Chain A
C-alpha cells in the first residue's frame, strides 16, 4: 500500500520538472500535467484512505532504505504510512486539486501561468513527502522544501516589492524556527544515534533519555512548528505571505503547509513530557488569543483571514499541548476545508473587485473591506459558500468546525480541571478566542456582502460571479464543512463520535512507558541519581496502580462533564460573538467608532498588530545589520590593515636595507658589497610586483634549503 502512497507523492514531482521546463512550449502552459497528476493523486488517496480504514486503527506500514552511507553506519530514509498519513494525504490532495482547479480560472491570463502550476506541483510533492516521512531528518527535509515552495509562491509576483519582501521574510523567519528543530534533531542523534521517530520512541521508552533532556528535545523540535505554523513570536511572516496569489494562500498558508507544524507536534506527541506539553499549550493558547485580537481590527480581507489562521493553528497546538491528540488533528482536518473555502471565497471577491475597480480606473485596494459591501446579490454562490464556511469556523452546530472546536475546548477544560492552577488561563484563551472568532468572521460577512456597495454604482454594475472553475471548488469545500463527513457512521451533530475519533487513537507517551519499564527491571539500588529517579518512578507507578481503576473512571467522567460544559459554553460564546457582530456591522446599533475610541491604545495595538514587526525591526534586524557592519569594518580596517601594514613595514625595511647595503657596506667592503648591494636592491624590488624577482627569490630560498640538506647528508 505504501507503494501507492509513494506514487501519489512522486507524481507531482514529475509534473513539476516537466511543466517548469516545457511550459513555454505547451498549450495552456501545461497546466493539465499538474492537474492530471494531482487528480490521479486524489483518486489514489481515496483508495488508500478506504484501504487504511479497512485495515483498522492500528494499521501502519514502513519503508526505509539507506540514504547516507557512512561506512560505519548509515542514515536511513524512512517512510511511514498509517491512518493519520492517509487522512493527511486525503486532505492535501483534496484541497490541492480543488485549488489547482480554482487556479485555472483565477490565474488565467497571467504571463507566468505555466510556472504557477509547476510551483503548485512542487508544493504538493513536498507536502506529501512531509506527511509520509517516518524520521526526523525526513521531516526536516520536506519541511525545508515546503518552505521553498512557499517562498516561490509568495514571491510569485516578485515584480512588485511587497511580495518579494514577504517571500524573503517567510523563508528567513521559518529558518529561525528550523534552527531550533535542527538542534533538537542533533541532540536526539547525539544521544540515541537514531532519527526514526518510531525507534526514538522505543528508545525513550527504554529509558535512554532523561526526562529533562526529553523536555528540551520536545521544545526544540516544537520551535520548528512555531515557525511553520506561525505561532507567537514567529507568526509575523504569515500575514505578509498574503501577498501571494489567493489560491496559494488557501492551499499553503491556510489549509496544508501551515498545519505541518501541528502535524509535527502530533508526530512527536509520544515524546512530549508534561512540562513540554504545558509550554506548548501556552504558546498555542496565547497565539490563538493574540492573533484574534489583531484579526478584529484589520480591514484587508485576506489579513483578517490570515490572522484567523494563526489563531486557529494556535488552537490546534494548544489541543496537542494539553494532550487532546485527536482534537488537535481533528481541527487540523476540518479547518483545512473551511479555511481553504474562506480563502477561495475571498479570492473570488477580490477577483470581482479587481475587475470592477479596473473598469472604473480606480486604484483603490481591491482587498480592503471598506471598498466592498452588498456583494451578496451579484455573487450568490460566493456568498453562500462563504456563509457556510463562516459558520463552520465560528462553531455553529451542524458544521465540522463546531465539533472540532468543541473537542479542543472540552479537552482544555478537562485538562484545567485535572491540573488546576495556571492551566485555567488556557481555558480563558480558548473561550474568549471562540467568541472573538465568531465576531470577526461575521464582521467580514457583513462588511463584504451586506449594506451598500462602497465603490460606487459604476463599479457595482460590472460586478459578477466568478467562473465555474472557481465556484465548483467553493461549493465542494463548503459541502466538506458539513459535520457528517467526519462523524460517519454516527449522525448525531452534537457528538464527535465517529470514524475520525475511533481511528485516530492517542499514542502512548513514551516516558510513561519508561516508568513501567524501570519499575519492572528491579536493578539493585544505589544512591546514584539515576536510581533515585527510578525509585521515584516506582512510587509513582505504585500510586497509579492503586488508583488505577477508580482514577480512570474519574478521568472519564471528568472528560465527559468537561465536554458537555464546553459545548454549552462555546455555543453561548459563539452566539454572543455573532450577535455583537450583527448589532455592530449589520444593525449598527453599536457604533464601532465609539468602541474604537473607548478602547484607545488597546485598539491601536490591535490595529498595528501590537507592533511586533516594528519591535523586530528595531531589535533583531538592527542587531544583525550592526553585526554585519562591525564584521565588515573589522575585516577591512583591522585585519586587512594589519596585512597591508606588515607589507608597508617590510617595504620600508627593505628600502632601509637597500640604503644600508649601498652606502655603508658598499663603502666598507667593496668587492663583497657589490653582491650584497644587488641582493638588497632585489629585495626592494620585491615590492614592485615584478614576478621574476619573486621566482628568483623563491628559487634562491629553495636552493639554500637544498644546500643545507646536501651539507647535512654529507655530514651524517
Chain B
C-alpha cells in the first residue's frame, strides 16, 4: 500500500472509527477528526520533497509518480490506478491542507458533530481520490463519492434556504456526472489496451490516440456531429458546471450562501478546481485535437467569466455572495490561461487554481468569522468596524489585496502569467479581460470601505476580535499566498514540466481535426 492510498483512505478509516465514539464526546470527536486530517497533510507535505519535477506525467505512463496499480474489477478491466503529476500534485496538497484547516473552522458546529465530521472525512477521501485517480472509472467513483457528503453538509448544516441550495447543487452536478458517465462508457468501448487487446478505462491509455478505435477517430457521428466534438462537449459541460463556467454558474452563489463556512471553503477552494482539473486531465489530454479546436471558445468563456463575475460581485449585498461571484470571476483567469496554449498562460492558469484555492479559502473563513459574531452578512449592515477589530481588518485586507492581484501575493503572479500568455494567442480577448482588474479592485475596495471604514456603527462597538483558533486557520494561508507571491519556484517547479508537455500534446495532436468535419 502506497502513500497515495494512505492519504486517500486515512480519512475514511477515521470516519469509521468515529462511528464507535459516543456522539456526546464532541470535543474528542473534533480533536480526533483534526488528527485524522493532519496525517494526510503531513504525508502530502512529505511527498513535496519526494516529488521529482523532471518527471512529466500527463500522457506518459512511465513518468507518473507514486503510482499504485491493482486490478479491481477484472470483468471490465477496471483498475485501482493512482498516481500524480504536475497537474494534480499541487491540488492534492492543497486539498489535504484545507481539509485540515477546515476542521478548525468547523469547531463551532454543535448540531450532530459526529455526523458532520464523518461526512467531512468521507468528502476528503472523495476529493483526494479524484485528484489522484488515473483510471476513468475510479475517477468517476471518487467524483460521485464527493457529491453525497457535500449534499448532506449543505442540506443539514446549512443556512435557511439550505434545502433549495443543496438540491440545486446536487441536480446540477449530477447532470454533469451523467454526461461524464456516458462519455466514459463510449470511451471504454472505443479504447483498446494494445497489450491485452481488451477495452480499458485506463486514462493514460485513452490519452494515446493510437489506441482509439476507427469509429472514435474517424467515422463516428452523433446527430450529424463528429463524435469527438460531441464527446468533448459532453465532458466540457460536466466540468463547466463544476468550475462553474457561465451560464452554468448559478448553483454556486446559492450553495455558498447556505453552506457552513468550512464547506464553502472546500467548495470554492477545491471542488471548483476539479472542473478545470478535469478539463486539463481529460478534455485536453484525451481529446487534444478537439481541445485545440475549441480553445478559442474557452477563451471567450474565460473573458465572460472574468467580467461578468466581477460585475455581478459588485452588485451583491451579501458578503458571502460577493465572494462567491468573485470566485466565478477568478476562475475565468484559469480558463483564459489554459485556453492560450502558451507556456506562460497555462502555468499561470494552474498557478491560479492553486492560488485562488488559498485566497478564496481565506475569504470564506473571514466571512465566517464576522458571521459568527454579527449573525448576518449584509455589507451595508456594518460600517466602521475597523476601529473595533483591527486584526480582523488586517487579515481581511491581506485576503482582499491578494484577491485583487497585489504584487507580492500569489494571485499577482498567476494573473500576470495568464495575461502574458493569453495575449500571445488572444490579444483582443486579453485586452478586454484586463479591464477585469479594475472592476475587481473596485468591488473589493468598496467592500472594505463599507464594512471597515467610516464612523463606527454603534451596534458593533463590542464586536469581539478574531480569536486564536480563527487566526490559526488564516495565518498559514496568508503565509502561503505571500510565499508563493514572492518566490513561486516551489509551485512552478512542480507544475511547469507537466504543463509544458501538455500544451505540446494539444498543439501537435496525433490526429488532426481536419480529418473530421464539425
Chain A residues within 8 Å of B, Cβ to Cβ: 66-73, 75, 137, 140-142, 144-145, 148, 151, 155, 158-161, 164-165, 167-168, 171-172, 175-176, 178-179, 182-183, 185-187, 189-190, 624, 627-632, 635, 639-640, 643, 647, 689, 691, 694-695, 698, 701-702, 705, 708-710, 712-713
Report chain A residues within 8 Å CB of B311: 627-628, 630-632
Interface check B314, CB cutoff 8 A: yes
Interface check B514, CB cutoff 8 A: no
Interface check B42, CB cutoff 8 A: no
19 sample A-B contacts, Cβ–Cβ < 8 Å, listed by A number:
A72-B343, A72-B496, A73-B343, A141-B408, A141-B412, A159-B455, A159-B456, A160-B455, A164-B453, A168-B445, A175-B438, A182-B434, A628-B312, A630-B311, A689-B155, A698-B174, A708-B185, A709-B185, A709-B188
- Chain B residue at smallest Cβ distance from A163: B453
Report chain B residues within 8 Å CB of A176: 438
Report chain A residues within 8 Å CB of B302: none
- Chain B residue at smallest Cβ distance from A138: B407
Report chain A residues within 8 Å CB of B488: 67-69
Q: Provided the pairs A182-B434, A698-B174 are in contact, do residues A158 and B445 lie with their beta carbons within 8 angstroms? A: no
In the complex, A698 Cα to B168 Cα: how many Å? 16
Residue in contact with A161 in the complex, picked from B148, B314, B454, CB distance below 8 Å: B454
- Which residue among A182, A186, A695 has the maximum number of chain B CB atoms within 10 Å of its CB? A186
- Chain B residue at smallest Cβ distance from A174: B441
Report chain B residues within 8 Å CB of A159: 384, 386-387, 453-456
Report chain B residues within 8 Å CB of A155: 453
Report chain B residues within 8 Å CB of A698: 144, 174, 177
Q: Provided the pairs A69-B496, A155-B453 are in contact, do residues A624 and B442 lie with their beta carbons within 8 angstroms? A: yes
In the complex, A435 Cα to B505 Cα: how many Å? 67
Report chain A residues within 8 Å CB of B343: 70-73
Interface check B104, CB cutoff 8 A: no
Which 7 residue pairs of A and B lie closest in terms of their CB atoms, listed nearest first?
Answer: A71-B496, A632-B315, A164-B453, A631-B311, A141-B407, A186-B423, A158-B453
In the complex, A71 Cα to B497 Cα: how many Å? 6
Report yes or no: A643 in contact with B250, Cβ–Cβ below 8 A: yes
In the complex, A70 Cα to B344 Cα: how many Å? 7
Report yes or no: A71 in contact with B500, Cβ–Cβ below 8 A: yes
Residue in contact with A632 in the complex, picked from B312, B417, B420, CB distance below 8 Å: B312
Report yes or no: A145 in contact with B155, Cβ–Cβ below 8 A: no
- Chain A residue at smallest Cβ distance from B430: A186
Report yes or no: A705 in contact with B181, Cβ–Cβ below 8 A: yes
Report yes or no: A705 in contact with B185, Cβ–Cβ below 8 A: yes
In the complex, A532 Cα to B427 Cα: how many Å? 27
Report yes or no: A145 in contact with B454, Cβ–Cβ below 8 A: no
Report yes or no: A632 in contact with B316, Cβ–Cβ below 8 A: yes
In the complex, A693 Cα to B308 Cα: how many Å? 36
Report yes or no: A628 in contact with B315, Cβ–Cβ below 8 A: yes
Interface check B146, CB cutoff 8 A: no
Q: Quick one: CB contact mask for B413-454 with A, threshold 8 Å, 1 for yes?
A: 100110110011001001100110111011001100100111
In the complex, A137 Cα to B344 Cα: how many Å? 14
In the complex, A142 Cα to B412 Cα: how many Å? 12
Interface check B492, CB cutoff 8 A: yes
In the complex, A698 Cα to B176 Cα: how many Å? 12
A-B contact count (CB 8 A): 168
Shortest beta-carbon distance from A142 to chain B in Å: 8
Q: Provided the pairs A186-B423, A190-B423, A713-B75 are in contact, do residues A145 and B312 lie with their beta carbons within 8 angstroms? A: no
Residue in contact with A713 in the complex, picked from B76, B166, B493, B496, CB distance below 8 Å: B76
Shortest beta-carbon distance from B328 to chain A in Å: 10
Report yes or no: B454 in contact with A164, Cβ–Cβ below 8 A: yes
Report chain B residues within 8 Å CB of A629: 315
Which applies to chain B's interface (DSSP): helix, strand, loop or mixed? helix
Report yes or no: B454 in contact with A186, Cβ–Cβ below 8 A: no
Report yes or no: B423 in contact with A179, Cβ–Cβ below 8 A: no
- A178-B437, A624-B442, A709-B76 given; 7 more Cβ-contact pairs under 8 Å: A70-B492, A71-B497, A71-B500, A145-B406, A171-B441, A635-B308, A689-B166
Report chain A residues within 8 Å CB of B401: 148
* Chain B, 164-183, CB within 8 A of any chain A CB: 166-168, 170-172, 174, 177-178, 181
Residue in contact with B454 in the complex, picked from A70, A75, A158, CB distance below 8 Å: A158
* Chain B, 331-365, CB within 8 A of any chain A CB: 343-344, 347
Report yes or no: B454 in contact with A69, Cβ–Cβ below 8 A: no
In the complex, A190 Cα to B342 Cα: how many Å? 11
Shortest beta-carbon distance from B158 to chain A in Å: 12
In the complex, A140 Cα to B412 Cα: how many Å? 11
Report chain A residues within 8 Å CB of B312: 628, 631-632, 635
- Chain A residue at smallest Cβ distance from B250: A640
In the complex, A295 Cα to B474 Cα: how many Å? 47
Report yes or no: A69 in contact with B181, Cβ–Cβ below 8 A: no
- Which residue among B344, B431, B439 has the maximum number of chain A CB atoms within 10 Å of its CB? B344
Q: Provided the pairs A160-B455, A189-B423 are in contact, do residues A165 and B449 lie with their beta carbons within 8 angstroms? A: yes
* Chain B, 348-393, CB within 8 A of any chain A CB: 384, 386-387
Interface check B120, CB cutoff 8 A: no
Report chain A residues within 8 Å CB of B185: 705, 708-709
Report chain B residues within 8 Å CB of A631: 308, 311-312, 315
Residue in contact with B247 in the complex, picked from A171, A639, A701, CB distance below 8 Å: A639
Shortest beta-carbon distance from A634 to chain B in Å: 8
Report yes or no: B347 in contact with A70, Cβ–Cβ below 8 A: yes
In the complex, A445 Cα to B120 Cα: how many Å? 70
In the complex, A710 Cα to B188 Cα: how many Å? 12
Report yes or no: B454 in contact with A160, Cβ–Cβ below 8 A: yes
Residue in contact with B170 in the complex, picked from A69, A142, A145, A694, CB distance below 8 Å: A694
Interface check B152, CB cutoff 8 A: yes
Report chain B residues within 8 Å CB of A694: 151, 170, 174
- Chain B residue at smallest Cβ distance from A638: B247
Residue in contact with A172 in the complex, picked from B308, B441, B455, CB distance below 8 Å: B441
In the complex, A701 Cα to B175 Cα: how many Å? 12
Interface check B163, CB cutoff 8 A: yes
- Which residue among B438, B493, B497, B499 has the maximum number of chain A CB atoms within 10 Å of its CB? B438
Interface check B23, CB cutoff 8 A: no
Report yes or no: B181 in contact with A712, Cβ–Cβ below 8 A: no
Report chain B residues within 8 Å CB of A639: 247, 249-250
* Chain B, 126-174, CB within 8 A of any chain A CB: 144, 148, 151-152, 155, 163, 166-168, 170-172, 174
Q: Quick one: CB contact mask for B304-331 with A, threshold 8 Å, 1 for yes?
A: 0000100110111000000000000000
- Chain A residue at smallest Cβ distance from B189: A712
In the complex, A185 Cα to B434 Cα: how many Å? 12
Q: Provided the pairs A144-B406, A701-B178, A708-B185 are in contact, do residues A69 and B489 lie with their beta carbons within 8 angstroms? A: yes
Report yes or no: B387 in contact with A72, Cβ–Cβ below 8 A: no
Shortest beta-carbon distance from B411 to chain A in Å: 12
Report yes or no: A190 in contact with B497, Cβ–Cβ below 8 A: no
Q: Quick one: CB contact mask for B491-518 with A, threshold 8 Å, 1 for yes?
A: 0110011011000000000000000000
Report chain A residues within 8 Å CB of B249: 639
Report chain A residues within 8 Å CB of B408: 141, 145
Report yes or no: B163 in contact with A689, Cβ–Cβ below 8 A: yes
Report yes or no: B496 in contact with A70, Cβ–Cβ below 8 A: yes
Shortest beta-carbon distance from A240 to chain B in Å: 14
Q: Quick one: CB contact mask for B208-222 with A, threshold 8 Å, 1 for yes?
A: 000000000000000
Report yes or no: A643 in contact with B168, Cβ–Cβ below 8 A: yes
- Chain B residue at smallest Cβ distance from A152: B397
In the complex, A161 Cα to B384 Cα: how many Å? 9
- Which residue among A140, A630, A640 has the maximum number of chain B CB atoms within 10 Å of its CB? A640
In the complex, A69 Cα to B490 Cα: how many Å? 10
- Which residue among A158, A179, A187 has the maximum number of chain B CB atoms within 10 Å of its CB? A158
Q: Provided the pairs A158-B386, A691-B155 are in contact, do residues A186 and B438 lie with their beta carbons within 8 angstroms? A: no
- Which residue among A66, A142, A190 has the maximum number of chain B CB atoms within 10 Å of its CB? A190
Report chain B residues within 8 Å CB of A158: 386, 449, 452-454
In the complex, A118 Cα to B160 Cα: how many Å? 44
Report chain B residues within 8 Å CB of A160: 454-455
In the complex, A141 Cα to B76 Cα: how many Å? 54
In the complex, A628 Cα to B329 Cα: how many Å? 13
